[in-house]
Amino acid sequence: MPTTPTTIALVSEHASPLATLGDVDAGGQNVHVAALAGALADRGHRVTVYTRRDVIGLPAEVPLRDGVTVHHVPAGPPWQVPKDELLPHMGAFGDYLARQWVDDPPDLVHSHYWMSGLAALHSAHETHLPVVHTYHALGTVKRRHQGASDTSPLSRIAAECTVARSCHRIIATCRDEVRELRAMGVPVDHSRIVPCGVDVRRFTPRGPTATRSGRPRLLQVGRLVPRKGAEFAIDALARIPGVELLLAGGPS
């Protein structure tokens, strides 16, 4: 427990921890932000998650749990907008944060996803607050694997480079991400790796289990949609003799 509680702002423009999981733009990032906020609160910090108001009539603030508040930012229309169409509203998002933080600034800002990084850095320019950033996905990787089906704004990769240069530190989730960032010109020592965790209280064996074959098992968990890359796990299986593959997931 910290001697003096730290106030932390998590900026997650499209991924609200209150969203119903399984929608097109509601999944892993929503879970990540909610779990991170809760873990920080468990350690005595005060956390506010800033996310875009996407439903008419949403209250400005909603308690998520003890120590965590979700703050709905009026930026763009008050209804759901595909995340790849939210870039024009990030200036308004950042302006709102700057106004909020003039009189009540957090100790630290942690932005999630590239557009949140733009909004957070826009506000930090006015308030001089430290900003750390987590990408969750990189435009270079998405464009490489999705090609013409990538609906990201054309400016995404350049904007991600701007976020990398401007934030105080990048919180990467794996070594592969650090390698991708290095290829984008980001120094390795500008990143720190904090892997995504697993809630072992929820994901733990319960009840009877089937008899294992004794062969090594590969496990992939995720939505069964093309961009999750299940075909790569299947391809890897063919290259490793004597291994079985378990795919756990569904359409949502």
Q: What is the pLDDT of residue 223?
A: 77
**pLDDT at residue 21, rounded to an integer:** 65
Question: Where along the chain do its domains lie?
Answer: 7-193, 217-248
Strand-pair partners of 220: 247
Cβ atoms of 236 and 218 closer than 8 Å: yes
H-type alpha helices, 9-155: 28-42, 90-103, 114-127, 139-146
* Confidence (pLDDT) at 152: 94
For 7-193, which CATH superfamily applies? Answer: Glycogen Phosphorylase B; (3.40.50.2000)
Residues 112 and 12 sit within 8 Å (Cβ to Cβ):
yes
Neighbours of 109 (CB within 10 A): 28
d(CA 224, CA 147): 19
pLDDT at 153: 95
What pLDDT is stored for residue 169 in this prediction? 98
Inter-residue contact 112 to 17 (CB < 8 Å): no
pLDDT given for residue 66 in this prediction: 96
Alpha-carbon Rg for the chain in angstroms: 19
Q: Beta-carbon neighbour count of residue 241 at 10 Å?
A: 7
Task: Kindly report whether the global pTM for this prediction surpasses the value 0.95.
Answer: no
Torsion from C-alpha of 113, 147, 240, 219, nearest 10 degrees: 40
Mean pLDDT, consecutive 10-residue stretches, the chain (252 aa), reads 78 90 69 95 97 95 96 96 96 97 95 98 91 96 89 96 97 96 96 91 78 82 79 87 86 66
DSSP 227: G
